[in-house]
Chains A and B, each alone.
Chain A
Amino acid sequence: MPRHDPLPDRETPERPRFDQDEIRRRQRARSIVTALILFALVALFYAISIAKML
């Protein structure tokens, strides 16, 4: 059975490329969801203020 040589030092990744892309994708998705929620809350608080004045 062929034996796998360990990776040379220069090729040892700090974090695989896949992880970096995945982190960015998740951060982007969370930022979009957070923005949408904040926007909805601004609209809700505005509507609550109007409703309380009536």
Chain B
Amino acid sequence: MATAPIEAPLTGMPAEWRDFLALTKPRVMTLVVFTGLCGLLAAPGHIHPVLGFTAILCIALGAGAAAALNQWYEADLDAKMKRTRNRPLPAGRMERPAALQFGVALAAFSVIVMGLALNLLAAAILAVSILFYVLVYTVWLKRRTPQNIVIGGAAGAFPALIGWTAVTGHVDLLPVMLFLLVFLWTPPHVWSLSLFIYSDYGAAGVPMMSVVAGAKATRLQALLYALPMAAVAIAPWPLGLAGAIYGIAATLLSLVFLGLAARVGVSRVADQALMKAERHLFAYSIIYLFAVFGALVVDRLWVA
């Protein structure tokens, strides 16, 4: 792979604090914090609000640490993609060691505080999620296989499990199903994005499904992952883990998701600028996850 055209940092010029904040990918963190909060609110039992806030803070800091370490490792890739070339490292606004130190410090801090304030199981799962994202997804899979996002998606599925465990101290079936839901949601979510920006991934040499297997196979696989995702989303209702409010909401939301995924599945549009179905699926997938998790919390609080 060609050497990355990273801008040379200004020697001795300290990075702005805003660049450290940007390193944590605050927008991605929103979804992580939301699913973590929903896991925490849906869990049975009571948690002191201060400890609940601390748990969410640790989840957010852990996600920020993983994002910082990801950008530290991928500065060369980020420099090649339009979407990412203005990040602090490829743009030369920060030196790489600073990003590494920041990421490691944030990761250690979030895990230690989670262990001291909440419980060791929640801290252990948080540590695993950070290591999984950095080592398994970023270092191992991303540049090697088009299945990178399938396995790597597990990293983003942990927050709900961590939120639940922070309250209860143990793992149950419902948070495992929430984990599975995010795990199966990730491929159609990311692949729909990769379809309409595939030239960007291609330029960077990332073996995304859309680059390696082509648009037709990617569309089909996105639809195939949406099917078990919908089943897992609805399953807590018939299994008695959630009530009718959640069941009806999850069913309706999943049917719309499947409809949009089917449109993507049968689409044959080749021009990235004209890929409306893919853009709609990507946008809806974000709303979908917020809505399904939100419905679960409303349902659990209603029952309580």
Contacts and interface: CB of A to CB of B under 8 A. Distances in A.
Interface of A: 15, 19, 22-23, 26-27, 29-30, 33, 44, 47-48, 50-52, 54
Contact of A27 (B14, B54, B57, B117): B14
Nearest to B116: A48
B13 A48 contact: no
Q: Which 3 residue pairs of A and B lie closest in terms of their CB atoms, listed nearest first?
A: A51-B50, A51-B48, A33-B17
B48 A26 contact: no
A26 B14 CA distance: 7
A23 to B, nearest CB: 6
Given A23-B12, A29-B17, A48-B116, 20 more contacts: A19-B13, A26-B13, A26-B16, A29-B16, A30-B16, A30-B17, A33-B17, A44-B50, A44-B54, A44-B57, A47-B50, A48-B50, A48-B51, A48-B54, A48-B117, A50-B50, A51-B50, A51-B51, A52-B51, A54-B48
Contacts of B17: 29-30, 33
Interface in B53-97: 54, 57
B120 to A, nearest CB: 15
Interface of B: 10, 12-17, 48, 50-51, 54, 57, 116-117
A52 B12 CA distance: 44
A4 B289 CA distance: 62
B19 to A, nearest CB: 10
Tell me if A's interface is mostly helix, strand, loop or mixed: helix
A26 to B, nearest CB: 5
Contacts of A47: 50
Contacts of A23: 12-14
A15 B272 CA distance: 46
Contacts of A27: 14
Contacts of B14: 23, 26-27, 30
Nearest to A15: B12
A1 B48 CA distance: 75
Nearest to A30: B17
B17 to A, nearest CB: 4
Contacts of A29: 16-17
Contacts of B16: 26, 29-30
Nearest to A32: B17
A51 B50 CA distance: 7
A50 B14 CA distance: 38
A50 B50 CA distance: 9
Contacts of B54: 44, 48
A54 to B, nearest CB: 7
Nearest to A19: B13
A23 B15 CA distance: 9
Given A44-B54, A47-B50, A52 B13 contact: no
